[in-house]
Amino acid sequence: MPKGKKTRKFAVMKRMISLNDPRLKPEDRKPKKEKIPDPHEAKLVEAPQYSSALFFEYNTQLGPPYRILIDTNFINFAIKNKVDLVKGMMDCLYAKCIPYLTECVQGELERMGERYRLALKVIKDTRIERLPCMHKGIYADDCLVQRVTQVN
């Protein structure tokens, strides 16, 4: 078979304009120096302020019975590791636990299809309490974050 012609690809290499090019304006001819950040300068990070009551070590009123919001991943990992949800929570925290399941999490499991039918059977347990959702959207993670951060 004959060998085909090899043509150079267009724009294979990024071409740079030299500083002496007449198309450049005088202010563009000087190479720009990058500003080196000062390692001792304090970095500004914007983060929303949350109540210290959300953190276990600062909230002295937090105690048993613990009310736990359950996520789809939590249910799936409990099934994967063959752990009973409520019994596993009580063994971990050494106290009474009340698991709560929002409608969004239940809807997310239903949307996942036939593959997660065992998870749907697990959440039908009578020990798991249901919470109604009054917000827009169906995203379960946003629902859980909203519930945790809301002021009671």
For residue 99, the model assigns a pLDDT of: 92
Please state the domain extents for the chain.
64-149
Top-confidence residue, 21 or 108: 108
Q: Which CATH class is domain 64-149?
A: alpha beta
In angstroms, rounded to a whole number, what is the distance separating the alpha carbons of residues 104 and 108? 6
For residue 137, the model assigns a pLDDT of: 78
The confidence band for 8, taking pLDDT boundaries of 50, 70 and 90, is low
Beta strands of 6-151 (E only): which ranges?
66-69, 97-102, 129-131
Give the pLDDT confidence of 26-79 residue by residue, as tens digits. 777 666 677 777 778 877 778 777 776 666 666 666 778 888 999 999 999 999
For residue 2, the model assigns a pLDDT of: 67
For residue 42, the model assigns a pLDDT of: 76
